């Protein structure tokens, strides 16, 4: 069975096994991690280790705080403007898909937010990022974008080097999939249910420069500065998600550095895209330069065949290939934990299905 779910997504086998093995007796306590106080030293050690592991894996400089906040990425859609727009109300948002649009809409409730639409009008989808500096307002506090649109499977090339203002980025679906230069961003956030474990948390990596600009009404529990001072333990944190994050970070580190992981992800995605490019039964609608390495969308010639594909794929052990309801078709999410063998099985099945129905 290979699980192509977009999130909550598959966990590495060794992580599932360890959760299983430790469930009845974590740390020799005689019970599970979910029954331990978040104030217990053993649990606090997990938080410290998670911070240290993220720092090492992503080479996060010392000027950044690493927070584990409640809710997923959508909670941050509100918390980012609340925490950052206290002194000036302006921010600009690049929009090219479902999640960047949702982030823009939520932020608009809290300030003077400009939407900069960068998605091309026609298929294959591409992104208009040539003259961004002309669209960004000089007094904006930050520019927000999403590095990988999970639903449409479109990936934005790294813009941070070329833009001269604080950048806030939603990396929910591609964090830890490739090396990034954290110092070029002011805030990076990612919900945990893809490359970071299970749902229930959002990892926020925020430059200390930004901790003094929250709106006065920002709830304490959602205030970055207060949570940083309390090591994200202002209230009862989702302890299970912290524990799984710990196991996934250790697994990630054991795979090699992020350059190595990126190379593996390239190889995996290339298997699927090169097959898609050499046949004409399935369609992929994203221009080559903007194709996601984490989510690959494709569709069969009609709706009936899409439905049949998803059903038949499950019978072959290929699970959760149905595309998102707003986009349709199929989507294979192939995060870090997906082995190359899973992609090979999927391509074999796609070939077989196309032969039968083409
Ligand atoms: N941003 C991106 C890029 C996503 O893929 C998702 C959902 N998986 C979200 C935001 C929303 O995340 P959550 O469900 O954790 O709020």
> Annotated catalytic, 325?
no
Question: Do residues 188 and 182 make contact, with C-beta atoms less than 8 angstroms apart?
Answer: yes
CB atoms within 10 A of CB 22: 16
| Residue with CA at minimum distance from ligand 1 atom 10 | 73
Distance between CA atoms of residues 126 and 157, nearest Å: 11
pLDDT for the residue numbered 336? 98
Q: In Å, what is the CA distance from 63 to each residue of 66, 110, 184, 312?
A: 10, 27, 12, 51
Helices (H), 193-330: 224-229, 239-255, 258-277, 303-315
Give the C-alpha distances (Å, rounded to integers) separating 11 from 17, 216, 244, 322.
10, 39, 9, 19
103 Cα to the center of ligand 1, angstroms: 10
Residue 73, ligand 1, Cβ within 6 A:
yes
pTM above 0.85, yes or no: yes
User: In sequence order, what are the residues at sequence separation of 6 or more whose Cβ sits closer than 8 angstroms to the Cβ of residue 13?
Assistant: none
Q: Which residue has the least CA distance to atom 4 on ligand 1?
A: 172
99 in catalytic set: yes
The C-alpha atoms of residue 332 and residue 321 are separated, in whole angstroms, by 5
Cβ–ligand 1 contact at 72 (below 6 Å): yes
**Which of 99, 147, 193, 198 maximizes ligand 1 atoms within 8 Å of its Cβ, making it the mutation to test the pocket?**
99
* 103 close to ligand 1 (CB < 6 Angstrom): no
For each of the chain's 358 residues, which pLDDT tens digit applies? Answer: 999 999 999 999 999 999 999 999 999 999 999 999 999 999 999 999 999 999 999 999 999 999 999 999 999 999 999 999 988 899 999 999 999 999 999 999 999 999 999 999 999 999 999 889 999 999 999 999 999 999 999 999 988 888 889 999 999 999 999 999 999 999 999 999 999 999 999 999 999 999 999 999 999 999 999 999 999 999 999 999 999 999 999 999 999 999 999 999 999 999 999 999 999 999 999 999 999 999 999 999 999 999 999 999 999 999 999 999 888 899 999 999 999 999 999 999 999 999 999 8
- Cα(89) to centroid(ligand 1), Å: 25
> For residue 99, which atom of ligand 1 is closest to its CA?
1
Q: Residues 26, 99, 174, 186: which is the catalytic one? A: 99
DSSP 283: B
Tell me, yes or no, if 170 is annotated catalytic: yes
Residue 174, Cβ neighbours under 10 Å: how many? Answer: 26
Ligand 1, closest atom to CA 191?
Answer: 15
- Given this model, what pLDDT does residue 39 score? 96
Do 182 and 66 form a contact (C-beta atoms < 8 A)? no
pLDDT digits (tens, 9 = 90+) for 119-164: 999 999 999 998 899 999 999 999 999 999 999 999 999 888 888 8
Q: CA 144, CA 129: separation in Å to the nearest integer?
A: 14
- The response to whether residue 97 sits with its C-beta less than 6 Å from ligand 1 reads no
Task: Report the pLDDT value the prediction gives residue 164, as an integer from 0 to 100.
Answer: 87
Q: Which pLDDT does position 113 carry in this prediction?
A: 98
Q: Is 251 helix (H, G, I), strand (E, B) or coil?
A: helix
> Is 173 touching ligand 1 by the criterion CB < 6 Å?
yes
Helix/strand/coil for 348? helix
Burial of 157 (0-12, 13-18, 19+ CB in 10 A): exposed
238 Cβ closer than 6 Å to some ligand 1 atom = no
Would you say the CB of residue 196 lies under 6 angstroms from ligand 1?
A: no
Selected catalytic residue, list 186, 194, 225, 322: 194
Ligand 1 pocket test, pick from 93, 97, 104, 150 with the greatest ligand atom count within 8 Å of Cβ, gives: 150
What element of type H or E holds 170?
strand 167-170
Structure tokens at 41: 């030293």
Ligand 1, pocket-test mutation among 191, 198, 297, most atoms within 8 A of CB: 191
Neighbouring residues of 238: CB distance < 8 A, sequence distance ≥ 6:
70, 200, 201
């Amino acid at each position: 069975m290979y699980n192509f779910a977009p999130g909550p997504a598959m966990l590495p086998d060794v992580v599932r096994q360890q959760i299983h093995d430790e469930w009845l007796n974590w740390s020799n306590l005689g019970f599970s991690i979910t029954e331990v106080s978040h104030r217990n030293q053993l649990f606090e050690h997990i938080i410290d280790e998670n911070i240290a592991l993220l720092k090492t894996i992503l080479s996060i400089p010392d000027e950044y705080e690493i927070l584990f906040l409640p809710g997923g990425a959508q909670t941050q859609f509100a918390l980012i403007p609340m925490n950052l727009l206290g002194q000036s109300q302006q921010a600009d948002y690049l929009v090219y898909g479902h999640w960047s649009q949702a982030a823009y809409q939520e932020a608009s409730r809290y300030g003077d937010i400009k939407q900069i639409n960068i998605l091309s009008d026609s298929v294959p989808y591409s992104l208009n990022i040539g003259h961004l500096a002309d669209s960004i307002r000089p007094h904006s506090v930050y520019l927000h974008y999403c590095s990988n649109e999970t639903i449409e499977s479109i990936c934005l090339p790294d813009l941070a080097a070329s833009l001269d203002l604080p950048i806030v980025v939603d990396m929910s679906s591609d964090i830890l999939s490739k090396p990034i230069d954290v110092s070029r961003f002011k805030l990076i956030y990612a919900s945990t249910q893809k490359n970071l474990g299970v749902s229930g948390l959002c990892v926020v990596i925020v430059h200390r420069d930004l901790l003094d600009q929250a709106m006065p009404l920002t709830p304490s529990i959602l205030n970055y500065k207060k949570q940083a001072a309390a090591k994200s333990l202002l209230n009862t944190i989702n302890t299970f998600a912290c524990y799984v994050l710990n196991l996934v970070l250790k697994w990630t580190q054991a795979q090699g550095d992020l350059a190595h992981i990126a190379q593996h992800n390239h190889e995996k995605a290339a298997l699927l895209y090169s097959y898609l490019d050499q046949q004409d039964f399935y369609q992929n609608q994203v221009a080559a330069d903007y194709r996601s390495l984490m989510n690959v969308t494709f569709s069969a010639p009609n709706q009936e065949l899409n439905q049949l594909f998803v059903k038949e794929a499950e019978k072959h052990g290929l699970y959760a290939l149905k595309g998102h309801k707003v986009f349709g078709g199929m989507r294979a999410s192939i995060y870090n934990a997906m082995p190359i063998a899973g992609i090979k099985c999927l391509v074999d099945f796609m070939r077989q299905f196309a032969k039968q129905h083409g």
